[in-house]
């Protein structure tokens, strides 16, 4: 695969940025990779690990000569970063971001993007519960969705070039509008995360109040919730604050359904429960068929001995 | 390892029974293994796979000469099975069950257990989202908890012998009373399952109502929920109907906490969210330290390429 951009600047050097960098380096796609992170420790780690070629002391130094700038910072600071780098962006440069929320990021970033620069928001549906510069790996995006959300002003040719890069590092790319993106993610990611955080919090309370060791016996179910609830707190705070309406809309539907199932339990309505559980089981099948998860039991946690 | 029981009867031949059988066979622990399942197809599959030595045509034929009888049927039919086999149990035999609920099973089964038979309820905290006779594997119980819930009438020596078997097939055994068991499991397993079922149902509704493909973009979070929500519908219906009070108690606490977080989102209270998420993150650490899950990113779904 040949180089797609001559110089890429990664602003923020956590899981997504380091994984992008490893993937671009593996395939010789990104030319020179320049990195910037707010924390000196993160900058030094990135340089030591070697996924960036150079480290800049400021965000504006990082973007100066870049053909592609990728904003990999929490959603809540996208606007501030854009304000800082805006005046230093080269004419013709493409700027994208990897935030989990799109409408709010577009609103925050767009005002700072010069007319001769292409802002093409995006969002990779890939991640793990780990964060920071040491957590990245080149295969993170393989066969994962990367949603591209062009704005009215996104140039078609520049968009196509960005899409080529994302596909080259393994992602399946689709484009959609910001509103659809934010509702979809509220259902498939944001609400589930909030629910997992809540359930883990409840267990922790019970642990402390009763002095019993409920968490010690973490069975399947809870164990999976704790993984989800181990995700980066700052990132998730910003997601909820910036996708407020869609998240609250989905939580409202969730609570309604939960109350209906709770009522079925209270009333001993086994048929209602059985029908519901049969329906949800079939949805799993669809996700495995779509190649978005493994059918291996327990995600392949345990290997079959027989 | 030497044989602990001469003849073991497994009533119900799904994931747990087949995994027990494979583990006992691997280590020569269970002597002759007799199996019974209601469905002819399941019985034939078990015989063909070879994890049972013989298949009985009825539950009472299966238990006749057994030193250990393991009830591996859904919680809702434990009482009916006990009523059927009770008169045919050999003096001195041990009966255990593997139900996810203990108080209701003890209430349902105990009346049918003769005085000269030891009923020692138990519950392995192990499983996958797969079910049926083909889903078992010998290492399922390795380093997993197996909770033993002796009743007033459980003989100490018989209990110790059962514990030896469970430990020999890899489990960490602890004893506790039925009420504590049921509350603990409501927190760590039953409520999380109901919540996962609910969230998957909400996404499915939205998919159908809006005609949009929300499920296609199943990100981390939702993807994990669908795995949990793919578990056996009959088993889970019975769990909820038989651990009604504890489940409803925990769901009440859950809803309270969820509303508090939802309010924080609505009011833009980022500190509340960040503090909460930081606390739940640390709980994950405890579970990994306790050896109850892997620290590999995404449960080791993707391998690091670098």
Q: Distance of CA B45 to CAs A99, B49, B145, B179, Å?
A: 50, 6, 28, 37
> Which residues numbered 147-166 in A keep a CB inside 8 Å of some CB on B?
147
- Burial code (b: 16+ CB inside 10 Å, e: under 16) for A33-45 equals bbbbbeeeebbeb
Residue B273 with chain A: CB contacts under 8 Å: 233, 236-237, 240-241
Contacts B77 to A, Cβ<8 Å: none
Residue pair B135/B235 in contact by the 8 Å Cβ criterion = no
Percent of chain A with pLDDT over 70: 90
Q: Mind listing the pLDDT tens digit for each residue in A58-109? A: 999 999 999 999 999 999 999 999 999 999 999 999 999 999 999 999 999 9
| b/e per residue A262-300 (b: at least 16 CB within 10 A) | bebbeeebbebbbebbebbbebbeebbebebbbebbbbb
pLDDT at A294 over 80: no
- Per-residue model confidence (pLDDT) at position A302: 39
- What are A36's two structure tokens? 């910037």
Interface of A with B in 259-278 (CB under 8 A): 261-262, 265-266, 268, 270, 273-274, 276-278
Strands (E), A83-202: 94-97, 118-119, 122-124, 145-148, 172-175
B33 touches chain A (CB under 8 A): no
B141-162 pLDDT per residue, tens: 998 999 999 998 789 999 999 9
Contact assignment for A192 to B217 by CB distance below 8 Å: no
R_g over Cα of chain B:
21
A202 part of contact set with chain B, CB < 8 Å: yes
How far is the C-alpha of B105 from the C-alpha of B75, rounded, in Å?
7
pLDDT of residue B299: 43
Yes or no: say if A214 and A203 are a contact pair by the CB < 8 Å rule.
Answer: yes
Q: How far apart are CA A166 and CA A171, in angstroms?
A: 6
Say how far apart CA A83 and CA A99 lie, in whole Å. 16
A200:B280 CB<8 A: yes
Percent of chain B as helix, strand, coil, to the nearest 5: 55, 10, 35
Write down the pLDDT at residue A234: 92
- For residue B124, list its beta bridge partners: B146
Which of A15, A19, A149, A201 to mutate to probe the B interface, most B CBs <10 Å? A201
pLDDT of residue A28: 87
Q: What is the pLDDT of residue B301?
A: 43
CB contacts, 8 Å: A261 with chain B: 194, 197-198
A245 Cβ neighbours under 8 A, 6+ residues apart: none
The pTM score is 0.83
Closest CB to A214 among B188, B236, B265 = B188
Interface contact flag, A268 B241, Cβ < 8 Å:
yes
Positive or negative CA dihedral for A228, A129, B289, B121? positive
Tell me the DSSP string of B113-174.
S-TTSEE--EEE----S--SGGG--TTTTTT-EEEE---TT--HHHHHHHHHHHHHTTPEEE
Q: Is the pLDDT of residue B90 over 80?
A: yes
Say if A32 is an interface residue toward chain B (CB within 8 Å): no
**Are A199 and B191 a contacting pair at CB < 8 A?**
yes
Are β-strands A54-55 and B68-71 bridged in parallel, bridged antiparallel, or unpaired?
unpaired
| Contact criterion met (CB < 8 Å) for A280 and B204 | yes
Chain A, nearest residue to B214 by Cα: A184
Q: Helices H, strands E: what count in chain A? A: 12, 9
The closest CB to that of B299, out of A185, A277, A301, belongs to A301
In chain B, residues with a C-beta closer than 8 Å to the C-beta of A300 are 299-301
Is B297–A135 a contact, with Cβ atoms under 8 angstroms apart? yes
Cα distance between residue A223 and residue B145, in whole Å: 13
Q: Which chain A residues are closer than 8 Å to B301 by Cβ?
A: 293-294, 299-300
Number of neighbours of residue A208 by Cβ within 10 angstroms? 10
* pLDDT at residue A222 is higher than 90: no
Domains in chain B: ranges and CATH = 7-176 (3.40.50.720), 180-268 (1.10.3660.10)
Q: What is the mean pLDDT of residues B236-262?
A: 95
Question: Is there a contact between B221 and A196 (Cβ–Cβ < 8 Å)?
Answer: yes
Closest Cα in chain B, distance from residue A166 (Å): 16
Give CA–CA dist A55/A136, Å, rounded.
Answer: 17
List, for residues B181-219, the tens digit of each pLDDT value.
Answer: 999 999 988 999 999 999 999 988 888 766 666 667 776
Confidence label for A219 from pLDDT (cuts 50, 70 and 90): low
If you write DSSP's letter for every residue of B241-262 in order, what string do you get? HHSHHHHHHHHHHHHHHHHHHH
Neighbours of B279 (CB within 10 A): 16
pLDDT on residue A160: 96
Confidence grade of residue A305 (pLDDT, cut at 50, 70, 90): very low
Express each pLDDT in B45-79 by its tens digit: 999 999 999 999 999 999 999 999 999 999 999 99
Asked if B240's CB is within 8 angstroms of A273's CB, the reply is: yes
Which residue from B minimizes the CA distance to A300?
Answer: B301
Q: What is the ipTM of this complex?
A: 0.84
User: Between chains, do B219 and A189 touch, taking CB under 8 Å as contact?
Assistant: yes
Q: Which long-range contacts (CB under 8 A, 24 or more apart) does B295-300 make?
A: B297/A128, B297/A129, B297/A130, B297/A135, B297/A137, B298/A128, B298/A129, B298/A299, B298/B220, B299/A227, B299/A298, B299/A299, B299/A300, B299/A301, B300/A299, B300/A300, B300/A301
Instruction: Please indicate whether, in this complex, the C-beta atoms of A233 and B184 are within 8 angstroms of each other.
Output: no
| Torsion A98-A101-A103-A106 (CA) sign | negative
Q: Compute the distance between CA of residue A284 and CA of residue A304 in angstroms, rounded to an integer.
A: 21
- C-alpha closest to that of A192 among A163, A229, A219: A229
Among A165-174, A284-293, B125-134, the range of highest mean pLDDT = A165-174
Report how many Cβ contacts below 8 Å link chain A to chain B: 359
- Check pLDDT > 50 for residue B121: yes
**Contact at CB, A192 and B241, closer than 8 angstroms:** no
């Amino acid at each position: 695969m040949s180089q797609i951009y001559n110089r890429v600047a990664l602003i923020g050097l956590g899981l997504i940025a380091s994984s992008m960098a490893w993937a671009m380096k593996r395939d010789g796609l990104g030319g020179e990779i320049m990195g910037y992170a707010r924390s000196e420790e993160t900058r030094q780690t990135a340089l030591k690990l070697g996924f960036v070629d150079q480290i800049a002391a400021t965000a504006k130094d990082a973007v100066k000569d870049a053909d592609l700038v990728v904003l990999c910072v929490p959603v809540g600071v996208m606007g501030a970063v854009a304000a800082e780098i805006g005046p230093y962006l080269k004419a013709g440069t493409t700027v994208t971001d990897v935030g989990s929320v799109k409408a709010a990021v577009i609103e925050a970033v767009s005002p700072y993007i010069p007319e001769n620069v292409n802002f093409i928001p995006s969002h990779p549906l890939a991640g793990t519960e780990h964060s920071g510069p040491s957590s990245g790996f080149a295969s993170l995006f393989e066969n994962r969705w990367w949603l591209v959300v062009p704005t009215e002003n996104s140039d078609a040719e520049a968009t196509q070039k960005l899409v080529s890069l994302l596909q080259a590092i393994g992602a399946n790319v689709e484009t959609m509008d910001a509103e659809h993106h934010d509702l979809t993610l509220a259902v498939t990611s944001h609400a589930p995360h909030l629910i997992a955080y809540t359930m883990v919090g409840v267990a922790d309370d019970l642990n402390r109040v009763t002095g019993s060791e409920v968490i010690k016996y973490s069975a399947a179910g809870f164990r999976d919730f704790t993984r989800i609830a181990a995700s980066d707190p700052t990132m998730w705070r910003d997601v909820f604050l910036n996708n407020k309406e869609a998240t609250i809309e989905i939580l409202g539907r969730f609570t309604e359904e939960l109350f209906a199932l709770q009522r079925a339990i209270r009333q001993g309505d086994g048929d209602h429960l059985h029908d519901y559980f049969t329906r949800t089981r079939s949805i799993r099948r669809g996700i495995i068929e779509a190649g978005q998860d493994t059918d291996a039991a327990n995600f392949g946690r345990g290997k079959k001995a027989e």
